[in-house]
Chain A
Amino acid sequence: MSNYPDNLKYASSHEWVLLDDEGVATVGISDHAQDALGDIVFVELPEVGSEVNAKDEVAVVESVKAASDIYSPLSGEIVAANEALVDSPETVNGQPYDAGWFYKIKISDETELDELMDAEAYSDHCDDD
């Protein structure tokens, strides 16, 4: 049974978002996503300082099964990338919502958050998968 924390928002492409008080969002992939991917062996992270638009391909996850593109749920400037995933990609499988975060983004358009789902809606979305 996959786990969907209530305090996060989710994109239909299985990324999660946690917005802080200063307009910076942390982004990762959901438990459903890491489970579907299987053991993750490489993560390619976005460059800090780069500007991205919502729905841009921003990261790549290679698992034993396949390579998967990660799409940015939000637009803005990448302010941090989780370098720990370079040496320990399996962290994404074990802790997708905590230590397995991918990057932080200073968001440029708050209204984009309204297009994301809450935990319940995302859970239903996953059941349809």
Chain B
Amino acid sequence: MSKQTALYQNHLDANAKMVDFAGWDMPINYGSQIEEHNLVRTGAGVFDVSHMTVVDVSGEDALHYLRYLLANDVARLDADGRALYSAMLNDDGGVVDDLIVYRMSFGYRLVVNCGTRDKDLAWMVKQTSGFSVHLSERPRLAILAVHGPDAIDKVCDILPEEQVEPVKQLGNFKGVELGDWFIARTGYTGEKGLELIFPEELASDFWGRLLAVGVMPVGLGARDTLRLEAGMNLYGHDMDDSVSPLAANMEQTIAWDPEDRDFVGKKALLKDKELQASGSLPILTGLVLEQRGVLREGQKVQTDCGEGVITSGSFSPTLKHSIALARIPLNSSSCEADLRGTMTAVRIVKPNFVRFGKKIFE
């Protein structure tokens, strides 16, 4: 039996093409994923991401527990509502999942991937040993992401009056609890916008009101091309349990300071640091193909320093050519991709292609 979010019927009403996503019936597009992608870059789009896993962490050791569980340091969240992006590592220093953690009035809220739910929950429970902490999964919360240059204005058009100012005042990576709702400036598109986490029985009505003020429904197909343009990783593709965050463009998310903080995977990560220093750890970087053709996950690449592989690839609707993330040997300066049997020159660039609708690489 497939799982469905509270917005299942709304998706059908909007002519969604539904597909299976990790056991959930989700909308891949509502007609054209390229049109939806462009709408998010130029107007405002709404994504139903209620299939993702929300876990609330409370209890007297919540802070200590999370400082041990996560590779980034939640002690940096110096006010309620602040968020950070973190890897959750295993003992070998591989990535169990990537996630956003928000500091809340009651403790912390983690939003982890849908496909990794069972693995993540089992792992998180296992790590509670020795900590006085309470984990509470929140399956009855809906999550809507509204992104694009017009997104915040449009959401504010339909929020209750007293919520508008607090929302308008939010800085990047900051959220605010408003009654049963939690609204934050986080996202997966590279555009300004909001993620709203709230009781699912209100989702259908809120969705309808968003559409009524001109916010367009956007499916998972466009979500993938948007995040790729923004250089954001997709778990299970750009990294997994066997990949070090240092080989997945996640170095900035590791909080090495303070040095006396122990966290799961730290020992292994220190070894990875040595491998990196000696040049034997690969890096995750960007590739662009400015001629006709599409770079795709799984394609092998050959650089002047050895072999690599494309971990995520697609056509970029904003740039109108193909872009990819690839794991290649450190210090590579030239690269060719095996496109359907033909070795094709590609350019190595920083793994970040578009920001606020504009190309940002040379």
**A interface, CB within 8 angstroms of B:** 38-39, 41-42, 44, 60, 62, 64, 66-67, 90, 93
Contacts and interface: CB of A to CB of B under 8 A. Distances in A.
A39 B294 CA distance: 13
Contacts of B340: 60, 67
B34 A90 contact: yes
B53 interface: no
Given A42-B294, A90-B34, 13 more contacts: A38-B29, A38-B221, A39-B33, A41-B34, A41-B315, A42-B292, A44-B292, A62-B294, A62-B315, A64-B314, A67-B294, A67-B340, A90-B32
A86 to B, nearest CB: 9
Contact of B34 (A39, A60, A62, A67): A39
B279 interface: no
Interface in B287-315: 292-294, 296, 314-315
Contacts of B29: 38
B5 interface: no
Which of A38, A42, A64, A90: most chain B CB closer than 10 A?
A: A64
Given A64-B225, A67-B340, A38 B33 contact: yes
Interface residues of B, number: 13
Contact of A64 (B292, B293, B315): B315
Interface of B: 29, 32-34, 221, 225, 292-294, 296, 314-315, 340
Nearest to B224: A64
A49 B64 CA distance: 73
Contacts of B33: 38-39, 64
A124 B292 CA distance: 35
Interface centre among A38, A39, A62, A90 (most CB of B within 10 A): A39
Contacts of A93: 32
A73 B73 CA distance: 61
Contacts of B314: 64
Nearest to B35: A39
B313 to A, nearest CB: 11
- Quick one: which of A41, A66, A67 has the most chain B CB within 10 A? A41
Contacts of B225: 64
